[in-house]
């Protein structure tokens, strides 16, 4: 569903955007999309540090545009008093062959840990699957890397117990990885955690609905969102 926002180049618009991003990582979707680019372009520059949530989001999108670009379609966003240029919808993808030193300079804690699967990768995967089928061999189960956003109820939620509740979920084909706490404002932090799953054995939606957002885990977890999903 499309959203309508006030012009973020004004103080009142920035304040509204900061409140909007308090419980969201992106403007309209579970991953960076063209809607984020539209709002990013509407800002006259980096926002003041007093707008904690806008700064977090702005730095994240800025880093993505520098490193790998954004390809998600989003759900549509309208900004009062701002008409995005046509070119904004399809930003150029940064050169992936840039020197390692430059990549280190652009390092950002909020950069997505997983990227979009390219057309070349999809084509190669399809060709491998066709080759396996033609040879009569059984295709091995694929794996995926998933980044989750785990939000607490409030600033009094015990984040250590929240992570323990998440990691206590065990099932065949599921492996929990690295995690970190990300400030979202007003003393509240959310948990970002990676996991690797065997596609044929684990459904991420089922994992969330039947394990992470029901008792006893929901005592420490308000909601759980998929930030990134990448085949490996």
In this predicted structure, what is the pLDDT of residue 164? 93
CB 173 within 8 A of CB 202: yes
Helical axes 52-67 vs 11-20, angle rounded to 10°: 80
In this predicted structure, what is the pLDDT of residue 96? 45
Hunting for tokens 């240029």 — which residue is that? 85
In this predicted structure, what is the pLDDT of residue 35? 85
Q: What angle do CA 221, 223, 225 make, to 5 degrees?
A: 125
Structural domain count, the chain:
2
CATH at 198: 3.30.70.60
d(CA 145, CA 197): 7
The verdict on residue 30 lying in a domain is yes
DSSP state of 139: P
Of 89, 107, 131, at which residue does a domain stop?
89
Buried b (16+ CB within 10 A) or exposed e, 56-92: bbbbbbbbbbbbbbbbbebeebebeebebeeeeeebe
The verdict on residue 110 lying in a domain is no
The verdict on residue 97 lying in a domain is no
**DSSP states of 1-65:** --EEE--TTSHHHHHHHHHHGGG-SSSSSSS-BHHHHHHHHHSSSSPPTT-HHHHHHHHHHHHHH
Local mean pLDDT, 10-residue blocks, the chain (232 residues): 78 88 84 84 84 89 74 66 47 47 47 54 72 55 87 90 92 91 87 91 89 87 89 80
The verdict on residue 109 lying in a domain is no
The verdict on residue 119 lying in a domain is no
Statement to judge: residues 10 and 71 lie in one domain: yes
Of 81, 76, 62, 85, the residue nearest 12 (C-alpha): 81
The verdict on residue 99 lying in a domain is no
Q: Which domain holds residue 73?
A: 3-89
**DSSP states of 144-184:** EEEEEEEE-SSTTS-HHHHHHHHHT---TTEEEEEEEEEEE
The verdict on residue 107 lying in a domain is no
Q: What are phi and psi of 51, to 5 degrees?
A: -95, 80
Statement to judge: residues 78 and 146 lie in one domain: no
Statement to judge: residues 149 and 223 lie in one domain: yes
CB 59 within 8 A of CB 9: no
Pairing of strands 3-5, 77-79: parallel
Helices (H), 43-149: 52-67, 100-105, 119-135
Sheet strand arrangement including 188-198: 174-185, 188-198, 143-151, 223-231
The verdict on residue 94 lying in a domain is no
């Amino acid at each position: 569903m499309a959203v309508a926002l006030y012009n973020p180049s004004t103080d009142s618009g920035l304040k509204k955007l900061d409140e909007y991003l308090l419980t969201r990582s992106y403007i309209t979707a579970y991953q960076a999309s063209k809607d984020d680019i539209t709002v990013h372009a509407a800002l006259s520059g980096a926002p003041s540090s007093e707008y904690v949530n806008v700064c977090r989001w702005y730095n994240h999108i800025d880093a993505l545009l520098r490193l790998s670009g954004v390809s998600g379609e989003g759900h549509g966003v309208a900004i009062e008093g701002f008409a995005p240029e046509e070119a904004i919808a399809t930003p150029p993808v940064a050169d992936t062959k840039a020197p390692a030193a430059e990549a280190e300079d652009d390092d950002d804690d909020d950069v997505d840990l997983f990227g979009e699967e390219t057309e070349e990768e999809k084509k190669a995967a399809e060709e491998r699957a066709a080759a396996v089928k033609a040879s009569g061999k059984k295709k091995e189960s694929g794996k995926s890397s998933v980044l989750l956003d785990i939000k607490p109820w409030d600033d009094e939620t015990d984040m250590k117990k929240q992570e323990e509740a998440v990691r206590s979920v065990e099932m065949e084909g599921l492996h929990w990885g690295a995690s970190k706490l990300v400030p979202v404002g007003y003393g509240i932090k959310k948990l970002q955690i990676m996991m690797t799953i065997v596609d044929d054995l684990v459904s991420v939606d089922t994992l969330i609905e039947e394990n992470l957002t029901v008792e006893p885990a929901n005592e420490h977890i308000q909601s759980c969102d998929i930030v990134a999903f990448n085949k490996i």
